[in-house]
Amino acid sequence: MIRLWHVAQSRSFRVLWALEEIGAPYELIRCSFFDRSLRAPQHLARSPAGRVPALEDGATVLCESGAILAWLAETRAPHLRVAEGGEGRAAFLQGLHYAETLGAHLANLTQHHIVLREASMRSPTVMRLEAKRLENALRAVGPGWVAGHFSVADVALGYAVWVAQRFVSLPEGAAEYLAACEARPAFQRAMAKDGPPEIYLRDFYPPPEE
């Protein structure tokens, strides 16, 4: 049995969505950023950084969402990946890792808009700069699936675009891409199981005015 430790709206949503796409049985263990559960010794043994996702698959324990997506596709859903030497392999790898490029900008924006609660802690310059960088990076996304068919690269990238709409207006291609992701029944099932929002309590966080 697969067990997934999850916080609503976090990167563990990628894994939740992938599990719904695969249709594999799993146990969802809900966690929170607002208690000490992620710092408990037993969770740190699964995820040394004290974060989510963490996944147990029998004797295998993983705590990086990208690695988990690749593992699940490799072991349970080869149709959700492109194998070595397969057509579209380079695009698959590019999409899977381009999600981390978007994620770096999203992490900075989330830190400044949400985690740093006092205005004196924030840098308006960084907030504006990161929003513009994110907007520029999103121009490379969509409208079609990155490897020519839906894969876990689209799970990783789709989650990043879903979060990105909280900070910038999506370019047309990225907006079409997100709409295609949101139309998938597995995405909708994952959303229904995600849980009450913990991170993004507003629909949009605009950059500070100059």
Q: What is the pLDDT of residues 118-128, one digit of tens each?
A: 888 999 999 99
Among 32-41, 69-78, 113-122, the range with the most confident prediction by mean pLDDT is 69-78
**Dist CA 181 CA 157 (whole Å):** 10
Asked, for residue 203, whether it belongs to a domain, the answer is no
Which residues partner with 26 through β-bridges? 2
Q: Do 128 and 102 reside in the same domain of the chain?
A: yes
CATH number of the CATH domain containing 133: 1.20.1050.10
* Per-residue pLDDT band at 209 (split at 50, 70, 90): confident
At 37, the amino acid letter reads S
Rounded to the nearest 10 degrees, what angle do helices 152-164 and 12-22 cross at? Answer: 140
Q: Do 188 and 95 reside in the same domain of the chain?
A: yes
Q: What's the total number of domains in the chain?
A: 2
CA angle 161, 101, 33 (to 5 degrees): 70
**Dist CA 157 CA 14 (whole Å):** 9
CA angle 20, 160, 101 (to 5 degrees): 130
Asked, for residue 201, whether it belongs to a domain, the answer is no
- Under DSSP, the state recorded for 115 is I
Omega before 143 within 30 of 0, i.e. cis: yes
* Per-residue pLDDT band at 93 (split at 50, 70, 90): very high
Q: Do 44 and 103 reside in the same domain of the chain?
A: no
Q: Do 163 and 116 reside in the same domain of the chain?
A: yes
**Dist CA 147 CA 101 (whole Å):** 18
pTM of the predicted structure, to 2 decimals: 0.96
**Dist CA 2 CA 182 (whole Å):** 24
Rg (CA), the chain: 17
Domain enclosing residue 176, as ranges: 89-194
Q: Single out the residue in 53, 80, 107 at which a domain terminates.
A: 80
**Dist CA 132 CA 124 (whole Å):** 12
What is the average pLDDT across 86-99? Answer: 97
User: For 36, phi and psi rounded to 5 degrees?
Assistant: -100, 10
**Dist CA 10 CA 105 (whole Å):** 15
Give the model confidence (pLDDT) of 8-64 as tens digits.
Answer: 999 999 999 999 999 999 999 999 988 888 999 999 999 999 999 999 999 999 999
